[in-house]
Amino acid sequence: MNGPGISDLDAVIAIARERSFRGAATALGMSTSAISNAVAKLEATLGVRLFNRTTRSVSLTDAGRSFIERVGPALLDIHAAMDGARSQQSKPLGALRINAFAAAAREIISPLVLEFIRRYPEVHVDLVTEGRLVDIVADGFDVGIRRADLVPADMIAVPLGRPQRPIAIGSPAYFKEHGKPRMPPDLLKHNCIRVRLPNGALLRWHFEKQGRTVQIEVKGQLTLDEASLVRTAVLEGVGVGFMFEQDLQKDLAAGRLVQVLKDWTPALPDLCLYYANRRNPSAALKAFVGLAREIGVKR
């Protein structure tokens, strides 16, 4: 049997952090079976169980906890050494992992990500979209894409422009039958399409005008957790939705959707690319950041 490799150790660290084989697999971009095989191989090599597993939970054994405490810092040093070696590459190679929320990914996929892989065909880009905020270093990402006000203070941020504006919309047929809301509280009289956030909470619709802010806990028959589904429901005349304007530009221009409460929906802070302040960033990371700055200047 071959001895454990760095990827096996990464798997164990990720499981301990996520307390889930599935969560670790997602964080590392691996399959759950590959994660399980890595742990089984390492446990067989060490001759001890590292995790207590049930159908509902995963926890470290005493041996596993001791192992993680000793191997974790050493593994960070190994990865730092590998990053240092990669920084000496003459051209971008290898993998680049990016974490972004879905709306941000849609904004940067064409001008940034696709342009990057055209310029650097020897780099594999793994773009992961999720609504929750993650620690990009702990979860193994090179780059994060978030609104400027959500970027951690210890990260290097590169403004991308591309303002995000959530707006209230409905179909012409819906508003013809039910009338248009004139003030945010009027939404309480409408059938609104509610959105469930990744943490399970329902999105509160935020409005602002001349320094006055209003948050509405809307009511409605339908609750969804994906923007494209909200758009479909609104187009079908089910009710009023709350989505990012940039995802609806064609529908608005064609008259399929109508925006309401326009003067109550200011733009949110612009998007930023951010990454950890490493001494030895890889050539791929440096090239990606350079392209982001270039595109930002063009805008």
Confidence of residue 192 (pLDDT cuts 50, 70, 90): very high
- The whole-angstrom separation of Cα 52 and Cα 62 is 10
- The whole-angstrom separation of Cα 216 and Cα 193 is 13
pLDDT score of 217 more than 60: yes
Structure tokens at 48: 């001890």
Q: Which residue has the tokens 């000496």?
A: 88
Q: How many C-beta atoms lie closer than 10 Å to residue 263's C-beta? A: 9
281-298 confidence digits (pLDDT tens): 888 999 999 999 887 645
117-160 confidence digits (pLDDT tens): 999 999 999 999 887 888 888 788 999 999 888 888 889 999 88
pLDDT score of 60 more than 90: no
Which has the minimum average pLDDT: 46-55, 140-149, 201-210, 253-262? 46-55
- The whole-angstrom separation of Cα 164 and Cα 243 is 10
pLDDT score of 86 more than 70: no
Structure tokens at 108: 């940067």
152-186 confidence digits (pLDDT tens): 888 999 988 777 789 999 999 999 999 999 999 99
97-107 confidence digits (pLDDT tens): 999 988 888 88
Position 5 scores a pLDDT of 77
Mean pLDDT of 267-271: 82
Cβ–Cβ under 8 Å, residues 10 and 140: yes
The one-letter amino acid code at 233 reads A
Position 262 scores a pLDDT of 93
Q: How many C-beta atoms lie closer than 10 Å to residue 269's C-beta? A: 14
Structure tokens at 62: 């005493």
Structure tokens at 34: 């590959």
The one-letter amino acid code at 29 reads G
Position 257 scores a pLDDT of 97
pTM above 0.85, yes or no: no
Q: Which residue has the tokens 């187009």?
A: 235
- The whole-angstrom separation of Cα 274 and Cα 277 is 9
What single DSSP character describes residue 279?
Answer: S
The separation between the first and the last C-alpha atoms of the chain, rounded to the nearest angstrom, is: 55
Which domains are present in the chain? Answer: 6-86 (1.10.10.10), 94-164+270-298 (3.40.190.10), 166-264 (3.40.190.290)
| 87 to 79, 82, 94, 121, 178: CA distances (angstroms) | 12, 9, 12, 18, 60
Position 277 scores a pLDDT of 82
Mean pLDDT of 48-74: 84
